[in-house]
Structure formats: structure tokens, C-alpha cells
Amino acid sequence: MNITAIGWIRPDKLPLSFGVDILKQEWFDFFKSISYGKSEIGNYKVSAGVFKSYSHFEKYTISSLKQIINTQKIRNKNVSTTN
């Protein structure tokens, strides 16, 4: 899932005019090198983003948690109506 939000910096989403081709390639090569069983974390994709500030990180995290809660409520409602 690709996520872009205020404060979330991803090299693949920067305008081409920034000339970030090398940064972009190194960024993704690094995370690819530690993904899918290539490190001690396990067989997972590893990726990262940089937030503009701690406040942006908090807003992003709270928004994501609210989405999870709402999704769970919808699933629970659908399960209870099908029984």
C-alpha cells in the first residue's frame, strides 16, 4: 500500500526537478537489501519515510489508528449481521 500524507517524504514522490534519481535509487536499494529474509527481522518488506516534524508523525499515526478502528467496527458489524 502506498501512503502519501502531509509531512511524509518519499523519494519516489518528489518532483523530477529535484534531481533525486541517485538518492531515490540508493534509498530503495537499501531497504530492498534488508527486506524479505535478508536481515534478522524476518521475511518482510522493509520501507521507511521521513516526517517533517513530530507533530506530522503524531497526526499520521492517529489518523491511521482511527482508520483501523473504523475498519474493525465495520467488520464486526458485518459479522454480527450475517449470523
d(CA 2, CA 25): 17
Query: Is the same domain home to 57 and 35?
Result: no
State the Cα–Cα distance between residues 20 and 18, nearest whole angstrom.
6
Phi-psi region of 6 (alpha: psi -120 to 50; beta: other; left: phi over 0): beta
pLDDT tens digit sequence for 28-70: 899 899 999 888 878 888 888 788 788 888 998 999 999 999 9
> pTM of the entire structure?
0.52
Are 20 and 44 found together in one domain? yes
Tally of domains within the chain: 2
Residue 15: domain span: 1-51
- pLDDT of residue 6 exceeding 60, the answer is no
18 & 41 share domain = yes
Q: How many angstroms separate the CA atoms of 19 and 43, rounded?
A: 32
pLDDT of residue 8: 64
pLDDT of residue 29: 93
CB atoms within 10 A of CB 15: 7
As a dihedral over the C-alpha atoms of residue 78, residue 4, residue 63, residue 79, rounded to 10 degrees, the angle is 10
pLDDT score, position 7: 59
For residues 14 and 36, state if they share a domain.
Answer: yes
